[in-house]
Amino acid sequence: MYYLDLANATNNLAGDVQTQLNRIDKQLRSLSKSVQDNTINPAITTYQNLSNTYSTVVPFNGINLLNVAKAADYKKYSRTILQMLFTVDELSDSILIANPIYNKPGLDPTRMAKWTDAVSARFKIDPVRFDDFFRTCLRRTLAQMLCDTRRKHKRLMKNVGAQRHSAPTSAQSDHGIVGLQSVVSGSPVMQAGQQVHNRNILH
């Protein structure tokens, strides 16, 4: 019995040690990733809080937004997630945040909150400082993205409209054929030929 209890105690101790090692390994990997992000994005260090607990899953249409884009650049990641959450039409017809001095509406607040959650969790941005982080680090690049999207969308719609305008409709095509037949049948050559044909029938 003594040896059996000792073996059980040893196994339990080994299991506890392995659990602790796995936990430490996970923390070290998380710390290493944060250090790497800080090296690539030194500007965000001021806004981070590594001791805070962040979401590990930010779902959207069955996808975890934290696993979609592996970009280490916070600007690129932020643009990518925004393009996933909103359609081209929405990005073209809206501004980032509703403002009474502009005619365009702001992007949907519910999806913008999900975007905030994803960016904050991905780069460990302190929720208390996220507004400052947004104004200082993201507003300009995202506003430029909306302008670029709006310009490309407008150019695309203009090209589509021009193609529709230049392409003849079936009614126009039929009218053109009838008009051509009228012109041909009314020509002197066709009239002379018709007269000869009529005389041949009479004789």
**DSSP-assigned letter for residue 135:** I
Is pTM beyond 0.85? Reply is no
Q: What is the pLDDT of residue 147?
A: 95
Q: Determine, yes or no, domain membership for 114.
A: yes
130-134, 156-160, 172-176: which range is least confident on average?
172-176
Let me know whether 59 and 135 are in one domain: yes
Burial of 66 (C-beta count, 10 Å sphere; 0-12/13-18/19+): buried
Domain that holds residue 90: 44-165
Q: What is the pLDDT of residue 119?
A: 96
Q: Determine, yes or no, domain membership for 64.
A: yes
Mean pLDDT, residues 89-108: 94
Q: Which amino acid is at 78?
A: S
Let me know whether 141 and 160 are in one domain: yes
pLDDT over 50 at 177, yes or no: no
Let me know whether 86 and 10 are in one domain: no
Q: Determine, yes or no, domain membership for 34.
A: yes
- Output the DSSP codes for 18-87: HHHHHHHHHHHHHHHHHHHHHHH-GGGGGGB-TTS---S--EETTEEHHHH---S-HHHHHHHHHHHHS-
Q: What is the pLDDT of residue 166?
A: 72
| Per-residue confidence band for 158, with pLDDT thresholds at 50, 70 and 90 | confident
3-state secondary structure of 167: coil
Q: Determine, yes or no, domain membership for 203.
A: no
CATH number of the structural domain spanning residue 101: 1.10.10
- Output the DSSP codes for 4-21: HHHHHHHHHHHHHHHHHH
Neighbouring C-beta atoms of residue 78, cutoff 10 Å: 24
Return mean pLDDT, the chain.
Answer: 77
Q: What is the pLDDT of residue 182?
A: 46
Q: Determine, yes or no, domain membership for 145.
A: yes
CA 81 centroid distance within chain: 6
Q: What is the pLDDT of residues 15-50, one digit of tens each?
A: 666 666 666 655 545 444 444 444 457 789 999 999
pLDDT over 60 at 114, yes or no: yes
pLDDT over 70 at 2, yes or no: no
- From residue 33, give the alpha-carbon distance in Å to each of 25, 27, 64, 129, 135: 12, 10, 19, 21, 25
Let me know whether 28 and 64 are in one domain: no
